[in-house]
Amino acid sequence: MAREAMQRGIAPAVSASTVRRRLDQDALKPWQYRSWIFITDPDFRAKAERVLGLYARTWRGRPLGADEYVISADEKTSIQARCRCHPTLAPGQARAMRVNHTHGRGGALPRTWHA
């Protein structure tokens, strides 16, 4: 931002630390936000314990052997058609933007395969 301010002639000279200090003092901080997730699945604890156990290389309370492996497959949520269940709240004076990550899924987007 300091370089951009000088290139645009907004300030003849300004350091990155000055920009950082000014932004820190500003009442509006749109780059800061808080997010939260409400757990609604009544079986969440059991599901989480199973997954976290695999990360810790255990299955049903037993350590995995040297010849046993965990393969993780991502569901590719970044290509899901999703819509947030709660609106994002804009930042205000001394309040960060608030983003809730609960979303409804609208199905996967079509994929194009290339040979």
Residue 71 lies in a domain: no
Number of Cβ atoms within 10 Å of the Cβ of 19: 16
49 is a domain residue:
no
If one compares 33 and 75, the residue with the highest pLDDT of the two is 33
Query: Is 16 inside any structural domain?
Result: yes
Strand, helix or coil for residue 44: helix
What's the total number of domains in the chain? 1
Q: Would you say residue 74 lies in a domain?
A: no
Residue 82 has pLDDT above 90, yes or no: no
What mean pLDDT is predicted for residues 76-97? Answer: 74
Contact 18, 82 (CB under 8 A): no
| 75 assigned to some structural domain | no
> Tokens in use for 73?
């497959």
21 is a domain residue = yes
Higher-pLDDT residue of 66 and 101 is 66
- Domain containing 1: what range? 1-31
94 contacts 34 by C-beta, under 8 angstroms: no
In this prediction, residue 64 carries a pLDDT of: 94
- Determine, yes or no, domain membership for 14: yes
Q: Which contacts qualify for 105-112: CB closer than 8 Å, 24 or more apart? A: 105/80, 105/81, 106/80, 106/81, 106/82, 107/80, 107/81, 108/76, 108/79, 108/80, 108/81, 109/79, 109/80, 109/81, 111/79
pLDDT at residue 45 in the model: 92
24, part of any domain: yes
User: Does residue 99 register a pLDDT over 50?
Assistant: yes
Q: How many residues does the chain have?
A: 115
Average pLDDT in the 23-44 region?
A: 81
